[in-house]
Amino acid sequence: MSFGAISAPAVRSLSHGAKEANCWMDTGEGGLSPYHIEGGCDIIMQMGTAKYGMRDSDGKFSPEKVKELSHYVKAFEIKLSQGAKPGKGGVLPGGKVTEEISRIRGIPAGQDSISPNRHRDIANMDDLLDKVAYIRELTGRPVGVKTAIGGWEFVNDLCDTVLRRGREYAPDFLAIDGGEGGSGAAPQTLMDHMALPIAEALPRVVDSLIQADLKGRIRVVAAGKLVTSARAAWALCVGADFVNTARGFMFSLGCIQALRCHQNTCPTGVTTHNRRLQRGLVVEEKYLRVANYARNMNKEIDMIAHSCGCRHGRELKREHVRIVQTANQSIALNMLYPYPAAGSRAAAKQATANAAA
């Protein structure tokens, strides 16, 4: 979540809490603030379509700024879309663009700030992989891609392009956001109806990577209401390597779902820049709750894994899950989504290339 969508005390609590629990924090698209760095946790810096924090005076990608940022962050993430508003971009209302936010993002204060619905310098999969390789080369940091999923073309195209060009062009991770994802502000129609739910998107993305023999090369991060240990464990069973959550951590900060994120009047101080409303969000107390949430999620995921006979969460597999369907009948997840043959797509592509040669 960006600094801008959420407040300074919220970002500070998350930064300190993440350090305490030894987990990472993603900046969201709003640039890197001193509050992200303050706690000393590992940071993933997101590059959104507006290139906030990494843009020149014309709003274009600035290699100098990205190189400078690489001293503070552990990885970069190119955001194509998020589950709450795929294809839409975003608006930070002028009321939330304070002097400080304008400095961090590189935009004028007090004016609505628009992030376009696409990266102007990325028009197709080759462009995307070029950008991944370029930022990785420039910064020496891993580079991933975040996207919501609307069908199978995207991930298949990504796999085919990596197979054609070479594994050195692969993104280091894919962060998959389910259609149930949250946002500071988005049209209700997109929030409610667009992008596949994570329950359908995740297994199919994982399967495509297995078929292309890229599952070991491209790490998979999943999000979309995976806020309880059981839901996060489900994602690990399906094939995610990691789980992200935004709203899980908002709850740990005291979010009461007042639904005013876009109005700058959040009564709990989580999404407002009004100092008076922020007074209830006491960093010295809240960072411990953030840390407790992360630690207990991990502890309970391992407990679920032990209960399945695994040594830890990373050994969880599809056969450990049963999905309850109508009339309380359940079906094994590995029957619903059978593991595909590893490398089958890669082999088929190779055979076609050989035949053509």
Ligand X SMILES: Cc1cc2nc3c(=O)[nH]c(=O)nc-3n(C[C@H](O)[C@H](O)[C@H](O)COP(=O)(O)O)c2cc1C
Question: Least distance from C-beta 29 to ligand X, angstroms?
Answer: 4
Between 198 and 210, name the residue whose CB sits nearer to ligand X. Answer: 198
* Cα–Cα dist 198/230, whole Å: 14
Q: Which is nearer to ligand X, 46 or 211 (CB)?
A: 46
Nearer to ligand X, 47 or 283 (CB): 47
Nearest-approach distance from CB 271 to ligand X, in angstroms = 6
State which residue, 54 or 212, has the beta carbon closest to ligand X: 54
Tell me how far, at minimum, the Cβ of 91 lies from ligand X, in Å. 12
CB of 198 to ligand X, least distance (A): 8
Residue 211 CB, shortest distance to ligand X, in Å, is 25
For the four alpha carbons of 294, 297, 303 and 308, in that order, the dihedral sign comes to negative
**What's the closest the beta carbon of residue 249 comes to ligand X, in angstroms?**
8
CB of residue 167 to ligand X, shortest distance in Å: 26
In the complex, minimum distance from the CB of residue 88 to ligand X, in angstroms, rounded to a whole number: 12
Minimum CB–partner distance for residue 225 and ligand X (Å): 4
Torsion on CA atoms 323, 329, 334, 340, rounded to nearest 10? -100
| Cβ proximity to ligand X, 106 vs 163, nearer residue | 106
- Cβ proximity to ligand X: between 163 and 179 the closer is 179
Looking at the Cβ atoms of 148 and 346, the one nearer to ligand X is 148
Residue whose CB is less far from ligand X, 189 or 325: 189
Cα within 13 Å of Cα(342), Cβ side = 4
Residue with the CB atom nearest ligand X in the bound state: 28
Buried-exposed string 291-301: b where 16+ CB fall within 10 A, e elsewhere: bebbeebbebb
Q: Which residues lie near ligand X (CB under 6 A)?
A: 1-2, 5-6, 28-30, 46, 79, 82-83, 146, 177, 181-184, 223-225, 227, 245-248, 261, 271
3-state secondary structure the chain: CCECCECHHHHHHHHHHHHHHCCCEECHHHCCCHHHHHCCCCEEEEECCCCCCCECCCCCECHHHHHHHCCCCCEEEEECCCCCCCCCCEEECHHHCCHHHHHHHCCCCCCCEEECCCCCCCCCHHHHHHHHHHHHHHHCCCEEEEEECCCCHHHHHHHHHHHHHCHHHCCCEEEEECCCCCCCCCCHHHHHHCCCCHHHHHHHHHHHHHHCCCCCCCEEEEECCCCCHHHHHHHHHHCCCEECCCHHHHHHHCCCCCCCHHHCCCCCCCCCCCHHHHCCCCHHHHHHHHHHHHHHHHHHHHHHHHHCCCCCHHHCCHHHCEEECHHHCEEEHHHHCCCCCCCHHHHHHHHHHHHHC
Taking the least distance from each CB to ligand X, the nearer of 148 and 316 is 148
Minimum Å distance from CB 188 to ligand X? Answer: 15
CB 45 within 8 A of CB 77: yes
Cβ closest to ligand X, residue 128 vs residue 210? 128
Q: Name the token pair of 181.
A: 């994802």
